[in-house]
């Protein structure tokens, strides 16, 4: 696998990036990207195998905070589960092998036609994916939370300070405003 470093879209994995002059015209005769439908949770497997077949691929990912027993972690997940983008590297490259690629089901079709997504839309998705690589932590100061464990379970609160192993919250308790410190695992985000 080669990462394109001179390409303005450095996250795109392009098997021909090392041979491309940065001032050369776009070598892709087909404008736009095809969409590949993958098997469940096999996006990375499909991407790896399509790269081996010398296709250019892009799997847009975003970060998502999840609460685990050990605390909060930011996991990378596909922006569009079961889908990735693909384009050929030259006009002679066939799209037929995509449907038999390990991890892939095939190209998205509408009838007999496999439409493409314009480069402008893919560029906008790239910008969005880079902005959401790591979203704000759900227990940041000012966030509304609900206590899910411990003696304060069931109460709603506002986060005033947060550290790795302790979160200070502000809540109404017995008709009075109160501050309390709890473990991050005892909280979950509450919609405003």
User: Residue 76 above 70 pLDDT?
Assistant: yes
Would you give the distance in Å from CA 165 to the centre of its chain? 27
What's the rounded Cα separation, in Å, for the pair 81 and 37? Answer: 9
Q: Residues 7-12: contacts with CB within 8 Å, 24+ apart? A: 9/58, 9/123, 9/126, 11/58, 11/126, 11/129, 11/130, 12/56, 12/57, 12/58
Output the DSSP codes for 61-79: EEEEEEEETTEEEEEEEES
Task: Please give the helix or strand (H or E) that residue 50 lies within, else none.
Answer: helix 43-52
User: Residue 46 above 90 pLDDT?
Assistant: yes
Listed in sequence order, the residues at least 6 apart from 67 whose beta carbon sits closer than 8 Å to its beta carbon are 184, 185, 188
Report CA dihedral (97, 88, 52, 77) to the nearest 10 degrees.
-100
Q: Is the pTM of this model over 0.85?
A: no
User: Residue 131 above 90 pLDDT?
Assistant: no
The pLDDT tens digits for 101-124 are 999 999 999 999 999 999 999 999
Listed in sequence order, the residues at least 6 apart from 173 whose beta carbon sits closer than 8 Å to its beta carbon are 152, 155, 180
The pLDDT tens digits for 7-40 are 334 444 444 443 433 334 455 556 789 999 999 9
């Amino acid at each position: 696998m080669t990462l394109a470093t001179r390409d303005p879209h450095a996250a795109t994995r392009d098997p021909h990036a090392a041979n491309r002059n940065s001032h050369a015209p776009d070598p892709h005769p087909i404008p736009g990207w095809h969409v590949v439908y993958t098997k469940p949770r096999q996006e990375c497997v499909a991407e790896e195998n399509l790269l081996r077949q010398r296709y250019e691929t892009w799997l847009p990912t975003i970060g998502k905070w999840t609460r685990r027993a050990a605390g909060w972690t930011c996991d990378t997940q596909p922006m569009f589960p079961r889908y990735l983008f693909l384009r050929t590297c030259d006009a002679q490259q066939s799209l037929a092998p995509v449907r038999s690629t390990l991890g892939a089901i095939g190209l998205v079709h509408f009838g007999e036609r496999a439409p493409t997504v314009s480069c402008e839309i893919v560029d906008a998705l790239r910008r969005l994916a880079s902005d959401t690589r790591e979203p704000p932590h759900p227990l940041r100061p000012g966030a509304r939370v609900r206590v899910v464990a411990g003696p304060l379970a069931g109460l709603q609160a506002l986060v005033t300070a947060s550290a790795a192993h302790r979160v200070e919250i502000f809540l109404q308790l017995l008709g009075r405003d109160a501050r309390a410190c709890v473990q991050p695992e005892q909280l979950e985000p509450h919609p405003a």
